[in-house]
Structures are given as C-alpha cells and as structure tokens.
Chain A
Amino acid sequence: MSEDEIVIQAEALGKKFCRSLKRSLWYGFTDILKDLSPFHTQRGDRTRSDTLRTDEFWALREVSFQLKKGECLGVIGPNGAGKSTLLKVLSGILKPDTGRLIVRGRVCALIELGAGFNPILTGRENIFNRAALLGFTRSQVNKKFQEIVDFAEIGEFIDMPVRNYSSGMAVRLGFAVSSHLEPDILILDEVLAVGDVAFKKKSFNKITELIDKCAVILVSHSMPTIFRSCTDAILLRSGQQVPTEAGVGPVIHEHLRQSADNLDAAKLADYFAPAPECVVRSSLIEADRTTDSAVDGSAVSVDFQSSISIALHLKFNTDTECVVHAVAWNQELISVLDLTSRGEGFTIEGAANEMKIAILRIDALPLNSGTYNIIVHIHTSNGLLQQKHRVPQNLIVRPFTSSAAYCISTSTSLETQNHGKPGPLTA
C-alpha cells in the first residue's frame, strides 16, 4: 500500500495531566499565557514541554503507530493505562504535549454513550444533534436517516426522550449514527460492551463492512473481540506502549501474562448446599511422571499437551450417588475446557460416612498457555447442586503458540496434493 493511504500517523505521543485540581487550573492559565506570548511559540506549534511540573504525571508516553484504511487497531491494557486518553488525542479532543500526530480524514468517535444528546429531546431529534457535532449537515443526514433508524432497532422508543433510554439503547443509537455517516476513521471506546449479543453481532458485522473504506481503532477488555476484529494491536500500561512481537495474539498474551502477575487466577468462593450429601474435602493436581512440571505451593506448571491428574477426596454423608463435573476456567473468567468427557459428569456411588478418592486423568491437555482454575461441581443424581469446589492450586500451561485461541486441537493434520494442471479440486 502506498504512503498516501496512511490515515493515522502517531509518533512518540505524550500527554500529561496534573493530580491537584487547583494546580491544574493554574497550569491551564499559565499555559494559555505562554501560548499567547511570542517568545514561547515554536514554529507556530503550541508550547511543548518535555518535563513534568509539580504534581504532573504522564498519562501517555512515547506511543507510536501507523494505521491505514482497511486496518483495525486494537488498544488493550489494564484500567487507567491511558487508552481513553489515547483515543481522545487521536480524535483531536486533547492536544499532545510531545510527539507528532497526523490524521487524514474525518474522524467519528464513540467515546461515551450520550455525548451530544440532549436528554429531553427524542432519539429522532438527537440523531441530527449528534451528526451535526460530527460535522454532518442536515441534508447529508436525511439521506441516511432511515438507514440509521432501522439499524438502531429501537422501535417505537425512537420518539421517546433520550433520558429514558437504557444504556444499551443509547449505544445502539450512538453507534448507528457514528457508523452510517461514512467516516474515514472510526474510533470505538469500550462502549459496545453494554449491547446485547444481537447488537454485538450487528455492530461487528457493520465494522467489517466499514473496514474496507475506513480505519478502525477499537478499545476493548474482551480479548476474543480483539482477536476476532483487529488486524493489529498495541498494549498500554501506565501510559506506555509495551513492546511485544508483532501480531494481535502476542499482544493479547502479554496483556494476560502481565495481568496474572498482579493477581491470582480468579477465585470462586466454595459453595455448599444446606445439607450436602457428598462433598469434596480436598483436592490436588499432579502431573504425570513423564511430564516436565514444576510445583510450588499454589500452582502446577506444565507444558502444552501434558498429562495431569486431579485427585478429589470425597466424603459421603449419606448413602447416595453423586455426579462429579470439572471445568477449567481461564484468567478472563471464561470456561475454556470441560474436563469431563462424559458430558454430564462422572457418577460415583458411596455409603454414609465413607471417604473415597476420585482421580480424574487427562491425557494430552489441549489448553493453550495461560493460568487456569479448575472448578468441580458435585450434583446429586437428580441434579441438585451439592457443592462448587475450587481446586486450590492453579494450573499454569507454559507458553506455546502465539495464537489467542484457548484450546489447541491435537488431532489435526495437514496433507498437500500435487496438481497436474489448473482445474477443479478432485476429491
């Protein structure tokens, strides 16, 4: 692609904010005076500053990237990393304190649900308000008006005051306006998360449609969304861009790896039914003797495709049958693997006051790298939940592929066939 098609060029962008309110207002005042003074101006640019004054901190520091039409950039990172600040700098709402930003084309940003809406007016009237703020005239909007209303699917509520809308309805309307007015650059902060599944599908289909003619920047906390929609990604942490290998997968992996450093894989409080018939007293994960594993008090680390066993010490309180079902959950709190090949769980019979040890063996664990929690559910044979038990140790699978997929199929193979002449593929 030629240089002409680059729509966003960001070089070493930096932005600082001030912690103290009074000092911040004072700095604002002195900055305006400096901007006015001919002695401070450098080549007509607003006054730049590379240093921090008292109480100031860098919200963004040295962020650089390039974006062309047809590309979708994912911006991920923990809360407070500077993602929204970056989006505001890219949309021109904030001016950078260091670095250079070149933006070619019209930007439509969806940074907050209700920006530009007057709550007393109806959804219909607010379409024109939002469009005008994005720079579109009434006639331009009229051409697309019906499409926008149909896309938003708010039905009869389009004629109701916006202040009565739920956040899902507000985002439908906001996104309908921003995406139908043919921007060159579409910026989406993590607002689409409030929509329902049907809306999520619709909005991602729309983004896919738009991508050919525009560049998209997407901020999301949902890694599957980022992996699915984005062609490239950057990871921000405390305002700085974390260097990673190229590709969406490695960036996601690094983000999850860094999140795991701070906190243990999510815990679930054990649940007990009022008078349980069977409970797990304790549990343990062990790796197969042939597996290269490392064990410390709280975790078992293994390689991909290792074999492990989970030992459950069960106590029966009455003569009964119980059903044991185990699921592995990842750091994003998604249940990625059902460890019970029987589907509905293994049935175990027991007698009152009996202790039994149940050992689940899993050969060739198909989990991709990451940190996992194993949660075991115990039900009675007629389906009443007796206990939810979290195996105290985490299961860590060491880095394997850079794909962001949760599981890897170990039974796929590839075969190539030679072709004599070009023609339809023969069976």
Chain B
Amino acid sequence: MESIREIAASLVRDFSTARMLAWRLFLRDTRAQFRASFLGYVWLFLPPIATTLVWIFLDNQQVISVDTGSVPYPFFVLMGNLLWTAFATSLTGSLGIVGEAGGVLSKLNFPHEALVMTSMLKVLLNTAVQALLIVPAAFLFSASLSWATFLVFPLGLLSLVLLGYAIGVILVPAATLFADIGRSMQFVTRFWFFLTPVVYPVPETGLGRFLAQWNPVSPLIVTTRGLTAGGETPLFVASAIIFAAALLLLLAGVFLFKLAMPRLIERMSA
C-alpha cells in the first residue's frame, strides 16, 4: 500500500527531529515530576518493595505456602515483581500517550512518534532504577546470583518492556478514542498478574500450567529468573519467539500510530 511507503519515508525523514524532541520531552517531564515531589526519586523504588513485603509476610505467616526450591522466596518474589512491573507499567503507560498530550497536539505540529519514544524512555528509566534493587536484595536474602545476572537481567527487563509496549502501542488509537479500553486494562493487568508465574513457580500440571505456558509474559519472566537466580528451567525458544514477535508487533504499532494520528487529533482537538 502506498501509504505504508509514505509513512516509512516520513519516519525516516523526521527521525532526528523526533529523537531530539523525544529526549527533550523526556527531560522536561522527568524534571517536572520530581521537582514537585518531596521524596522525588524514592518513589521509583517504593512500589516493588511494598508489594514484595506483602508477599513475604503472607509466606512467613504460612497463609500461602510456596515451594521455590533453591531460591529464597522473598528474592523469588522480588525478582518476579520487578519483571512483572516492567511489563505492566510499559503496557498501561503507553496507552495514555495521546490523551495526555492532547493540549500540545492540538496547538503545535511536531513528529508524533516522539511521544512513543518519550514514553519508552520514561519506562526504561523507571525499570532501570528498580533493577538496581537486585544487588542489595540478593545480599539481604542470601540468594546466589549467577555471573550471567548482569547481562541477563537487564535483557530480560528490556524484553518485557518491549512486549508491554508493543501491545500498548497497537491499542493506542482505540484507547484514545474509547476510554473503556484504558479502564478495562487496569483490571485486565491485575487479573493477568495472578495468571502469570510472578509470585509462584510454573505449576507442574493442570490449568495453571496450561495458562502459564500460553501466557506470552511467562517465558520471559521464567527464563530471566531462572538464568539469574536459578531454580527454574529457562525457556529459550519460547522467549526468542516472543521477543521477535514483540518487535514486529511494535513496528506494526508504530505504523498504525502514525496513520491514525491525524484522525485522533481532529477528534480530540479543542
């Protein structure tokens, strides 16, 4: 289709402007976010720490009993949470990019892919800061980290961010027009959390195993955690397939985004 060629041409042509603008918007929003907050960057760490503490408490009190083999449960949960949060924030964060920029979109003309890039930079910042928690946590919970950790863990986080983003960007046009999608995504992700082996290892049998296997997020979490902390079998093939699919989906999403933007702006503008 001709329009695909046109879109590709405009993406290439505007790339350096979009990149420069994305960086500037990222700096702008991040500075503003923390300038107005007293605790500032501390807020980046709090959510995963808080959730992890809850699960540790439940395990400690024998309310829930989970066997995670050689890996200490708190560490297992913390890693799972960090990986899951990378996916979930990426997914929910990408849905709102057009809605939030409504004001400037209807007043100034600029390469819109910059919004996609800015949002990704924000997610990466969040994720990178949280990933730093791994090292002190390993000491705290007496877990052993393999040498591959420092290579594998960031890669794993990145792949989850990519997957979340790919799904989010494809949905952006629909989510911008229909608020239902953004709203329902909030409890879809909550539900999805429990169907993914984040706070429990992959079940041996039954529906749980089936869901865990077909859930695209599972192989990425299981592989990363397995290679880093041990205790689980990494699923290399599945992870590679999902990573590749996510890349393609993201590319398709960016094209759809560019195509849909003029329509979204005229429906939103004030």
**Chain A positions near chain B (C-beta within 8 angstroms):** 15, 17, 24-25, 27-29, 31-32, 35-36, 38, 41, 43-44, 46, 88, 91-95, 107, 109, 111-112, 115-116, 118, 120-121, 125, 128-129, 132-135, 137-138
Contact = CB atoms under 8 A, between A and B. Distances in A.
A22 to B, nearest CB: 10
A95 B266 contact: yes
A121 B32 contact: yes
Contact of B269 (A29, A46, A93): A93
29 contacts: A25-B177, A25-B178, A28-B264, A28-B266, A29-B174, A32-B259, A32-B263, A36-B256, A36-B259, A38-B1, A44-B6, A93-B105, A93-B106, A93-B109, A95-B262, A107-B109, A112-B107, A115-B104, A116-B107, A116-B108, A118-B28, A120-B36, A125-B31, A129-B24, A132-B20, A134-B108, A135-B21, A135-B110, A138-B20
Given A29-B177, A125-B28, A137 B20 contact: yes
Interface residues of B, number: 38
B12 to A, nearest CB: 16
Residue of B21, B24, B109 with highest tally of chain A CB at under 10 A: B109
A129 B28 contact: yes
Nearest to A92: B109
A29 B259 CA distance: 12
B110 to A, nearest CB: 5
A202 B103 CA distance: 28
B3 A93 contact: no
A93 B107 contact: yes
A342 to B, nearest CB: 52
B32 A116 contact: no
B106 A133 contact: no
Contacts of A112: 107
B183 to A, nearest CB: 15
Contacts of A38: 1
B184 to A, nearest CB: 16
B247 to A, nearest CB: 21
Contacts of A43: 2
B173 interface: yes
Contacts of A44: 2-3, 5-6
A298 to B, nearest CB: 40
Contacts of A137: 20
A133 B174 contact: no
A118 B31 CA distance: 10
A28 B267 contact: yes
Given A27-B267, A121-B31, 20 more contacts: A15-B266, A28-B264, A29-B177, A32-B173, A35-B260, A41-B1, A44-B2, A93-B105, A93-B108, A109-B108, A109-B109, A115-B107, A116-B104, A118-B29, A121-B32, A121-B35, A133-B108, A135-B17, A135-B21, A137-B20
A132 B22 CA distance: 9
A24 B263 CA distance: 10
Contacts of B262: 46, 94-95
Contacts of B32: 118, 120-121
B265 interface: yes
Most chain A CB atoms below 10 A, which of B20, B24, B36: B24
A15 B266 CA distance: 10
Nearest to B24: A132
B26 to A, nearest CB: 11
A43 B174 CA distance: 26
A94 B266 contact: yes
A118 to B, nearest CB: 5
A133 B105 contact: no
A189 B231 CA distance: 64
Interface in B25-51: 25, 28-29, 31-32, 35-36
Interface string B233-270: 00000000000000000000000100110111111010
5 tightest A-B contacts by CB? A44-B2, A115-B107, A28-B267, A132-B24, A92-B109
Contacts of B24: 128-129, 132, 138
